[in-house]
Structure 1
């Protein structure tokens, strides 16, 4: 039987991959009663940042600089159509494009690795591996992660072709340069590839690639400093899991990844697999071809880097780039054994199918829950908060989830979590005394605050009056099904209650208000 061609396998991957994406999209669309909403509120932070970039600023409010975005280039890519009805669809357009590119690149890697000789296995991989790696769920988030996955697949295919021909190619160069611009984690792979290029005799090219990857990141940090911001974006610092003033506290990152509140199983698995790749590359007994030794070294180094310095979870988007490179590199390294005949090939096929089955079993639940219930969560919670924020006339609005609330909103939004507020980030990280949100509300002329009580964690002092709960009546995919709406001062109680009562008939079917009697103590929320 003839081996599969790249075009044929890519066609199969696109048919099934986009079909599954469309099915998930339609299911989520049904639960929002036809409103188009992303599965994650963070997508709207990108859009809000893009609005301000288009207007000549950088942040979520006019004339206020803030580094609420953890990607250098993604908000810039979202600038087109800013201020129009189509602007909200830009992340969808980019992610469908990224999903198509990923499926095609995956098919090319499978065929060029030699796995195309095993037709049945190749087709199974092309259909089920994207699901096992959560590609469709990732694309539905509307974030930059799917584009980042494209860069690691480009890097792998470019590395394979360079090893085969001895000539550097556009895929490899583009991957090295684009990765760090999309995600800071991309810098690790880019520098590893630059070292390999240098080590294999392309001295000037290796140095040039390293500088091309590193200098834009440094320049961006210096530009942020010139705006009066931190060298690293607030969004990176806020999500680094480091509490305290020392931003270089590496031990805190390690403690989180391998501790009970991190992802210790994932982190340990990455360590074990990373070390296995390094051993396979350096020990003669494994008898890897020279080109596969280089690939194994790069893979091992990248996986170990993410194990110790990376992040995991939260819609399973942080680790996917490393997991994708790891899985595809493993297929390439072991392709000669799997595509052959005999007992070894049989074992390889069984192991490949077992690994895919595990991946599908692990990620399919996340993909379905986030893709189907995620938009309903955002629509029935953040969308309604955003409508209230746009209608409020009593000053600024303070929230701890700034995405959709700040998008296409002329009112000033104050961030309580710290992505767009250095003051809030400093207070939260340094464990400021109780009452700091109250003082911030006074300083920023805040009239209404909306957020999850669990996020305040005892920080709130006396003076805020809870007026109502916004309750969610679908399975919560994140944070909490209950938002508390506060008046930050006594004269705002009646205007806020009037606003809520006038808006109540407009609430969708899975959202409701529960009004709170004056002086009542907020009830504990059910956090996820």
Structure 2
């Protein structure tokens, strides 16, 4: 049967079936390599994944919203993801694999939604297959699965929002879709607080077009869950926003307009330097926007979506962060690629060149220039995902094993809290401030130092931190007992974890415990310290 004779529904299925096969194959190969490197254990490529798992465990089985079961802490920047994990634990038990299976299912949903999005652009099946395969690599989708975090969920909700927005923009009387759009606006900040950027840009464009009711409704519904959670956090003695948002994203207080603008500009330029592929995608969005505007001569659905993605990207780069594994900007890379697919495939350069062949060559070069860095960066991260999981296994997971064996219900001091909090029942003092309010407050006030650390760690039995993070802030009385150094570090905050005794009476016990545990560390972890001496 020829392609012309093939029923359209059979032809269309290949538009998402082939990308699903590519996604499944890459995920399976990555899993096999990672399991082999990690002694058969499923390990996530981010310690932050275990923060969500720890909070979900404590919510599901102890009724506590916190990193430990002993106290409340507003440490999650994705309340919905944490709640989804807690629900899964209540239904099937405390399984560390839950984030992996969630992300696998969400990856499938993303590719199906992406195929529908590209269908609306009128792309052929081969074009849709190519675009989705590029998305898998550039996002990058497989590393997001192994991150164990909410970034695929964020991208799926954003894409559903864009699809609903396009329908509502072109067909204002579509009441059901308008209701869906409003519901998704309420959901976005619960997935990640950066969802507010998308809602703000969309509402601004709607109000500009005098669609006041819908624009104000989007803002109100997005603000409602943020306000409800914020008031709950405040009642628990924390801040209106999660500590992770405040500590990692603070712009500072008491700044004048000029200083604030300068700081925002520096953050924007720093983010572009850290994620240069975003600069090329911004350029592509501008080219696509001009091309589509000239073609449509009006603010149609496609132009609207490009404006929304462009505005959201600019706000994120100015006010938020780009991060390791490309996870913070993953939703922007995916949405940019999808809205750019149509303009890039249909870019008409014939009037600039003497022959169609030259025009097509130039079109391919423009597309390659815009997408090359995103694909290369995503491809690099995809290839190195097993290495990232091994970093976490060699460092954070071994720290958790050590704490579970010797300090399971004791107080320990950390700066990476995820794996230890999830795999043990230890009391945690978090020197990064995500789980310890006093540390976060001191960091926000600029008063963090040795005295505050000493006050918070008087009852601690062991300290496991990156000393390079605290060059002038550690108490002088702390005694270094040992160090673990991992090879080929890609994802951890430092390749060396230092073990310190916070008081003289804890040093001998810590030394003995490290000596006892030493034979059980992976062979590639380099150990140093006098505890190794017989």
Quickly name the TM-score band, shorter chain normalised: 0.7 to 0.9
Q: Are positions 1:98 and 2:106 aligned together?
A: yes
CA contact (8 A) 2:77 2:244 kept: yes
Deviations 1:343-387 (A, max 9, x none): 666644553355444422222112222x11111111111011111
CA contact (8 A) 2:135 2:337 kept: no
CA contact (8 A) 1:277 1:297 kept: no
Shift of 1:434: 4.2
Q: Are positions 1:185 and 2:194 aligned together?
A: yes
SS of 1:381 mapped into structure 2: helix
SS of 1:446 mapped into structure 2: coil
Residues 441 and 495 (structure 1), Cα distance of their counterparts in 2 relative to 1, 3 Å cut? farther
Shift of 1:254: 3.6
The residue correspondences of 1:81-230 to structure 2 (distance < 5 A) are 81-82=88-89, 86-116=94-124, 119-163=125-169, 165-166=171-172, 167=174, 169=177, 172-196=181-205, 203-230=212-239
Which deviates the most, 42-51 or 388-397? 388-397
Structure-2 separation of matches of 1:66 and 1:411: 15
Structure-2 separation of matches of 1:62 and 1:315: 29
Q: Are positions 1:367 and 2:382 aligned together?
A: yes
Structure-1 separation of matches of 2:215 and 2:338: 24
Instruction: Give the corresponding residue for 1:389.
Output: 403
TM-score, length-normalised on structure 1? 0.87
Residues 455 and 94 (structure 1), Cα distance of their counterparts in 2 relative to 1, 3 Å cut? same
Q: Are positions 1:312 and 2:312 aligned together?
A: no
Shift of 1:47: 0.8
Instruction: Give the corresponding residue for 2:16.
Output: 10
Which deviates the most, 292-301 or 305-314? 292-301
Deviations 1:449-504 (A, max 9, x none): 00111111210121111111112134443321110001111111111111111111
Structure-1 separation of matches of 2:249 and 2:381: 23
Q: Are positions 1:258 and 2:269 aligned together?
A: yes
Shift of 1:298: 1.9
Aligned residues: 513
Q: Are positions 1:423 and 2:438 aligned together?
A: yes
Q: Are positions 1:40 and 2:55 aligned together?
A: no
Residues 260 and 13 (structure 1), Cα distance of their counterparts in 2 relative to 1, 3 Å cut? closer
Shift of 1:122: 2.9
Structure-2 separation of matches of 1:386 and 1:247: 44
- Name the structure where helix makes up a greater proportion of residues: 2
Extract unaligned runs of 5+ from structure 1: 519-528
Residues 277 and 47 (structure 1), Cα distance of their counterparts in 2 relative to 1, 3 Å cut? same
Shift of 1:304: 2.0
Structure-2 separation of matches of 1:349 and 1:160: 28
Residues 286 and 261 (structure 1), Cα distance of their counterparts in 2 relative to 1, 3 Å cut? closer
Instruction: Give the corresponding residue for 1:407.
Output: 422
Q: Are positions 1:497 and 2:523 aligned together?
A: no
Structure-2 separation of matches of 1:245 and 1:380: 42
SS of 2:324 mapped into structure 1: coil
**72, 79, 84: which is aligned to 1:77?**
84
**303, 311, 333: which is aligned to 1:323?**
333
Residues 449 and 113 (structure 1), Cα distance of their counterparts in 2 relative to 1, 3 Å cut? same
Residues 273 and 304 (structure 1), Cα distance of their counterparts in 2 relative to 1, 3 Å cut? farther
Residues 247 and 209 (structure 1), Cα distance of their counterparts in 2 relative to 1, 3 Å cut? same
SS of 2:59 mapped into structure 1: helix
Instruction: Give the corresponding residue for 1:61.
Output: 68
SS of 2:494 mapped into structure 1: coil
Structure-2 separation of matches of 1:245 and 1:230: 18
Structure-1 separation of matches of 2:349 and 2:452: 61
CA contact (8 A) 2:26 2:142 kept: yes
Deviations 1:160-190 (A, max 9, x none): 3445555252764453232211011111212
Structure-1 separation of matches of 2:52 and 2:27: 22
Deviations 1:4-60 (A, max 9, x none): 844221111101112112212221111101011100000000011112222221211
Deviations 1:178-226 (A, max 9, x none): 2211011111212333455566676544433332212111111111111
Residues 109 and 31 (structure 1), Cα distance of their counterparts in 2 relative to 1, 3 Å cut? same
Residues 64 and 254 (structure 1), Cα distance of their counterparts in 2 relative to 1, 3 Å cut? farther
Structure-2 separation of matches of 1:459 and 1:7: 59
Deviations 1:291-347 (A, max 9, x none): 333223323322221231121122211112122222211224455547999566664
CA contact (8 A) 1:278 1:296 kept: yes
